[in-house]
Amino acid sequence: MNSDRSSYGGHLDDDAIQSLLDAAEGHVGAETESARRHLADCRGCQARVDAWREVFGELGQLRRFAPPGRFAERVLSGIERPGEALSSARAWSWVRLRRWLTGRAADAHLSGRRLQEFADGALSRQHATLAKTHVAACGDCESRLAGWQRLIATLEVLPSFAPAAGFAERVMARWREVAEETTGRSRATRKWLLLPRSPRGWVLAGTLTSMPVAAFAAVAAFLSTVPQLTTGGLATYLWWQARDALSALGSSVLAAVMQSGAAFRAYSLADYLIASPATAAAAAAGFTALMFSSIWILHRNIGFPRLALRHVHN
Amino acid sequence: MSLNYQSVEDAELVTLAAEGRESAYRELLSRYERPVFSLIYRMVRNRTVAEDLAQEAFIRTFNAIDTYNPQYKFSSWIFKIANNLTIDHLRKRRVPTVSMHGAPDAVTPEAQARTSLVVQSHGESPEEYVQNRELAGQIEAAIGELREEYRVVVLLRHIEGHTYDEIARILDIPLGTVKTYLHRARAELKLRLAEA
Ligand SMILES: [Zn+2]
Ligand SMILES: [Zn+2]
């Protein structure tokens, strides 16, 4: 492809320059990048780009208004400024421009790529105008264009193929299977997580959870205001109460075990553990966690009203 | 609730489908089953494989329907999914004989030998019979001999009628590459048809 793009030693040919100007209008192609890099260092090509830019400017006018009589001459006189010395590249471009505008475009044949894109309706308006004008004047390019047009027409009438009968039904059936597998999986996941399923559910769960936590905090605060009631003392009291209750139940075996030395050592250890602040904190955390889970189970089972985010219906 | 789905635009159908309306899915299927199947079939050149891939393309599209970006055409999206599946399939199945891609000129005699082998192969199934006739035409054979990158751009452009920009998006390649592929693909087709 590069062979018909930069035909003389890296310099930009007319196609490349026109692509570049198209790119300025937003039709950016990958090949314009290398053209841009070349252009940055090459004064000759810069001059030719300027010349083409002027042609494009005039062609813009041509599209919008019917060209007035002697249009070509006016364009040419507008570009040719008396006394201005033309650089060689610019002079060369000038010859091309004059030939094109005056309809003598014998040496400006269209490249295969350009003809293809013209046949495919893929040229920008400027390029299409240039191509149309050339083809109208050049039998050679006209017949090459006709070849591309025939090829495209042949392709465009090719039939589309239908899949075997019942394809749509098979797709719908398979899709339903896939969907069921997927929702089955997500339902199972949700059962394990026991998470609220709507914003309102989250608010309810939060409120209910914070209530027992607040109650627990209040009790703890109250206990801390009573100096006689230390954590250890409270635990001892609870322990005695439990032992009395067990004795009252007539469980002599249990009572015997409790009154033995082993029971006393276990009690001492428990008393020590209970008295440490870390244990108190861990107990509080465990209590809170228990509260959370019980509230969530409650929430799941009582089934508080859920705010459905998206209701799927068939 | 009784909507005439046939008059609904693609983007609107997608919205209805995302809401869970089965008729919207059915309408999308009836619109795209032929184009999607045809594209894949001309790429893999086997009806059974093409149907499996087309089915998978629809299921993937439907499953992802609520991720559809309405900024792009639905057709571009589904063709992108279909093309990715097809390319994956072709890559997995690729055999050494297909690596003649680098030298387009060497393709014709070998490919002809391959084609004649298929045609003469022991007892065609009815399906094979149909498909050998379907894709046996001169132009279809020429398309089949294009390398995959060229073939898909020709199909998307000249059979499905996508714009160059849409093709660039479907294939995830730059616009300049689309133009180059199309240019080379058409040049090869022209050459093959002139030889035939
Ligand atoms: Zn240069
Ligand atoms: Zn010509």
Tell me the residue length of chain A: 314
- In angstroms, the first-to-last Cα distance of chain B is 56
Q: Which residues of A touch B134 (CB under 8 A)?
A: 161
Query: What pLDDT is attached to residue A287?
Result: 82
Query: What pLDDT is attached to residue A309?
Result: 37
From B26, B183, B190, residue closest to A147, measured CB to CB: B190
Query: What pLDDT is attached to residue B105?
Result: 40
From B26, B37, B183, residue closest to A116, measured CB to CB: B183
Q: Are the Cβ atoms of A164 and B47 closer than 8 angstroms?
A: yes
Distance from CA of B178 to the nearest CA of A (A): 9
Q: Which two tokens stand for residue A166?
A: 């019942």
Q: Are the Cβ atoms of A122 and B58 closer than 8 angstroms?
A: no
Classify burial at A102, counting beta carbons within 10 Å of its beta carbon; exposed 0-12, middle 13-18, buried 19 or more: exposed
Q: Are the Cβ atoms of A1 and B180 closer than 8 angstroms?
A: yes
Q: Please name the CATH architecture into which domain B137-196 falls.
A: Orthogonal Bundle (1.10)
From A116, A155, A171, residue closest to B159, measured CB to CB: A155
Q: Which two tokens stand for residue A96?
A: 């091309």
Backbone angles phi, psi at A11, to 5 degrees: -65, 160
With a CB cutoff of 8 Å and minimum separation 6, the contacts of A249 are none
Cα-Cα-Cα-Cα torsion A90, A91, A97, A98, nearest 10 degrees, comes to 160
CA dist., res. B133 & res. B119, Å (int): 10
CA dist., res. A165 & res. B26, Å (int): 15
Beta bridge partners of A122: none
Q: Are the Cβ atoms of A162 and B34 closer than 8 angstroms?
A: yes
Please say if the pLDDT value at position B50 is more than 60: yes
Q: Which two tokens stand for residue A130?
A: 């240039």
- Asked whether the beta carbons of A291 and A209 are under 8 A apart, the reply is yes
Helix (H) or strand (E) holding A93, with range, is helix A88-101
Q: Report DSSP state, residue A257.
A: H
Question: What top-level class would CATH report for the domain B1-94+126-131?
Answer: mainly alpha
Q: Which two tokens stand for residue A129?
A: 């105008």
Q: Which two tokens stand for residue A41?
A: 């260092």
Domain encompassing residue A20: 5-60
Q: Which residues numbered 57-116 in A keep a CB inside 8 Å of some CB on B?
A: 112-113, 116
The closest ligand to the CA of A45 turns out to be 1
Count the domains in chain A: 2
Q: Are the Cβ atoms of A161 and B37 closer than 8 angstroms?
A: yes
Please say if the pLDDT value at position B119 is more than 50: no
Residue A28 forms part of a structural domain? yes
- Is A175 near chain B, with CB under 8 Å? yes
**Above pLDDT 70, what percent of chain B?**
78
- Is A178 near chain B, with CB under 8 Å? yes
Residue A73 forms part of a structural domain? no
Which residue stretches of chain A have pLDDT < 70? 1-9, 22-31, 54-107, 185-199, 223-224, 227-231, 251-259, 263, 274, 297-314
Residue of A nearest to B19 (CA): A312
- Is A160 near chain B, with CB under 8 Å? yes
According to the 3-state scheme, what is the secondary structure of A12-31? CCHHHHHHHHHHHCCCCCCH
Q: What is the DSSP string of B65-98?
A: GGG--TTS-HHHHHHHHHHHHHHHHHHHH--GGG
Backbone angles phi, psi at B134, to 5 degrees: -60, -40
Residue A223 forms part of a structural domain? no
Between the alpha carbon of residue A84 and those of residues A42, A57, A80, B66, B99, the distances in Å are 21, 20, 8, 64, 58
Query: What pLDDT is attached to residue B122?
Result: 46
Q: Which of B55, B66, B47, B36 is nearest to B170 (CA)?
A: B36
Instruction: Give me the amino acid identity at A131.
Output: A
Q: Are the Cβ atoms of B186 and A151 closer than 8 angstroms?
A: yes
From A29, A171, A182, residue closest to B55, measured CB to CB: A171
CA dist., res. B167 & res. B158, Å (int): 11
**Cα A8 to ligand 1 centroid, rounded to whole Å:** 9
Residue A39 forms part of a structural domain? yes
- Is A27 near chain B, with CB under 8 Å? yes
ipTM for this model:
0.81
CA dist., res. B28 & res. B13, Å (int): 7
Q: Are the Cβ atoms of B176 and A116 closer than 8 angstroms?
A: no
For A105-250, where are the alpha helices, taking DSSP H only?
Answer: 112-119, 125-137, 139-156, 167-193, 199-225, 231-248
Helix (H) or strand (E) holding A297, with range, is helix A277-302
Q: Is B173 helix (H, G, I), strand (E, B) or coil?
A: coil
B90: how many CB neighbours lie within 10 A of its CB?
A: 15
Residue A281 forms part of a structural domain? yes
**Cα A105 to ligand 2 centroid, rounded to whole Å:** 7
Q: Are the Cβ atoms of B55 and A167 closer than 8 angstroms?
A: yes
Domain boundaries, chain B: 1-94+126-131, 137-196
**Cα B154 to ligand 2 centroid, rounded to whole Å:** 26
Q: Are the Cβ atoms of A172 and B34 closer than 8 angstroms?
A: no
Displacement of CA B81 from its chain's centroid (Å): 11
Distance from CA of B44 to the nearest CA of A (A): 13
CA dist., res. B164 & res. B172, Å (int): 12
Residue A144 forms part of a structural domain? no
Instruction: Give me the amino acid identity at B31.
Output: R
Q: Which two tokens stand for residue A256?
A: 């015997």
Q: Please indicate, yes or no, whether the overall pTM of this predicted structure exceeds 0.90.
A: no
Residue A216 forms part of a structural domain? no
User: Hunting for tokens 């068939």 — which residue is that?
Assistant: A314
Per residue in B20-44, pLDDT (tens digit) is 999 999 999 999 999 999 999 999 9
- Asked whether the beta carbons of B76 and B170 are under 8 A apart, the reply is yes
Q: Which of A16, A33, A60 is the last residue of a domain?
A: A60
Residue of A nearest to B64 (CA): A179
Q: Which two tokens stand for residue A164?
A: 């075997």
For chain B, where are the alpha helices, taking DSSP H only?
Answer: 10-18, 22-44, 47-63, 74-93, 107-120, 126-134, 138-145, 148-154, 164-171, 175-195
Classify burial at A17, counting beta carbons within 10 Å of its beta carbon; exposed 0-12, middle 13-18, buried 19 or more: buried
Q: Report DSSP state, residue A270.
A: H
CA dist., res. A209 & res. A299, Å (int): 10
Residue A32 forms part of a structural domain? yes
Q: Which of A24, A39, A60 is the last residue of a domain?
A: A60
CB pairs under 8 A between A and B: 113
Q: Are the Cβ atoms of A31 and B176 closer than 8 angstroms?
A: yes
Q: Are the Cβ atoms of B34 and A160 closer than 8 angstroms?
A: yes
Mean pLDDT, rounded, of chain B: 85
Query: What pLDDT is attached to residue B130?
Result: 65
CA dist., res. A266 & res. A264, Å (int): 5
- Asked whether the beta carbons of A183 and A287 are under 8 A apart, the reply is no
**Cα A106 to ligand 2 centroid, rounded to whole Å:** 6
CA dist., res. B181 & res. B150, Å (int): 5
